[in-house]
Structure 1
């Protein structure tokens, strides 16, 4: 069975899979990133994990993986396969594509974690069938992926989609990027957590607790939530004006609040738009499998670009690409 290796590297854990030509997860596994042991240890763990997956594929399907895709956080140079910088992994200028290719004996594609997850959502998930989409991940920060005709736009310098650093409140709190009032300082899950911990007086309260308090009608929580939703709507209207997507897909931790987020967000966007058509505003569909699925798509796309695949993979009609034949932990 033809398959590729997919790796989704996070700050604390790695998710990996063997992905079939139809986008289905054939085998899944997870491991700790091991960042507490330093950047070199993280790289070794990635290489060892990929090699183990290659062995699994050979044993179960009789053939090795034809390629690999890896999604990593931080700044990347996808063209040259370099993981340029990731603060939470402690690395700089890691030639990850070369290292993995040498270890696996197969071609390797490198992608940014959010853009890779957006690729999966656009092609296999909530944006399936949309010619233009914008994917937003509302997590510790906010980042986006601009989808055009089934592909994600990297930008001229590999940083397209950094919507979290649109300034929506010029007099707002300082951001690590050097600006003030960036969207992610006001509407990310971490921003809501910070605001709700202060408003509630509970230092352990988080964004999920705030959402529950909103649902119960707590006026303090409603005020925090409205501020975050208003800032998010302001950022989205800017993005809609520039990009005119057909579908807006929202994922990440804050999106787990469901309609507690989406109902007021749709209303807030409607209040702000004038001439701009409002796209469908929908929750992400693939959950935490999006990164692995997207990394697999990167690998299949690489094979297609090299002439080793006649067509790009899409999910089979009526199937859920999140389903795997086996899960390993």
Structure 2
């Protein structure tokens, strides 16, 4: 059965799949990234993981993978296939596409950004399906974005289009590792909410999910923390929609798991801020933490499209 390898490499874990030509997830696997062992070890593990997936496909599906797609965080040179920089993985200028192609017997390999790959999947087969223009914003450890236009995701001239997390929403606010002060992700990411709620409630182990539960129970301290994050996020989103004019605004990541505790006040906060702008549909992401892996598979199938194997349009049930 024709299939491709899909790999989504995160700061703590790697998700992988074999994806069939009809979109079926033929096999799934996960493992720790192991970044504490250093960047060279992470690269070695990625290559080993991909080789294991290739072997699994050959054994269980009758032939090796036709192509591979890998999504990684940080700054990516997609044209050259180089992972330029990733702070949470500790690497610089890793020729990941060439390394994977060599390890996988010379098959085509696509290298993409993790959030843009997730946005590609949400746009084609998830919450943005059918939208000609969308913005995908996952709220996780940080905040990034994927700008979707007519079924593709914009990388930008230098590989960092969509970095909404570094829009300054609070001038002279908290310092950000990027070098600026007051960036959106310092106020509205899951990690920022966790930090603020831990300080407010006095429990160093409290996190954003705990804050959301406290909001639902009526805790005034939690509501103050939550509203600060909502207001900052709405300011950043309105800046983005003013520039990009998306038809659909897709919110994902860990913070979106709060459901309407997040979405109801966020929709209202965005609505209050727009003036001449057309209010987009603001919806939760549909694919959860599989979006990056599914997007990596779509990147791989896109490489083969000109050879007569079109990218799948909808995912099927998982088999192992």
Q: Shorter-chain-normalised TM-score: which range? A: over 0.9
1:312 and 2:306 correspond = no
Structure 2 length normalisation: TM-score?
A: 0.98
**1:198-243, Cα deviation, whole Å (9 max, x unpaired):** 1111111110000000000001100111110011001111111111
Q: How does 1:86-105 map to 2 (within 5 A)?
A: 86-105=86-105
1:28: which partner in 2?
28
More off after superposition, 55-64 vs 260-269: 55-64
2:204: which partner in 1?
203
Corresponding residue SS for 2:30: strand
Partners of 1:323 and 1:214 lie apart in 2 by 36
Corresponding residue SS for 1:170: coil
Structure 1 length normalisation: TM-score?
A: 0.95
Q: How does 1:242-281 map to 2 (within 5 A)?
A: 242-281=243-282
Q: How does 1:72-151 map to 2 (within 5 A)?
A: 72-105=72-105, 106-151=107-152
Partners of 1:278 and 1:23 lie apart in 2 by 33
1:16: which partner in 2?
16
Pairwise CA RMSD of aligned residues? 1.0
**Mind listing any 5+ residue stretches in structure 1 that lack a counterpart?**
316-320
Count of equivalent residues = 319
- The answer to whether the 8 A contact 1:81-1:98 is kept is yes
**TM-aligned CA deviation for residue 309 of structure 1:** 2.6
- The answer to whether the 8 A contact 2:21-2:310 is kept is no
- The answer to whether the 8 A contact 2:138-2:252 is kept is yes
**TM-aligned CA deviation for residue 75 of structure 1:** 1.2
Partners of 1:217 and 1:24 lie apart in 2 by 44
**TM-aligned CA deviation for residue 74 of structure 1:** 1.1
- The answer to whether the 8 A contact 1:289-1:322 is kept is no
**Mind listing any 5+ residue stretches in structure 2 that lack a counterpart?**
none
Partners of 2:5 and 2:293 lie apart in 1 by 9
Q: Pick closer, same or farther for the CA change 1:75–1:322 going to 2, 3 Å.
A: farther
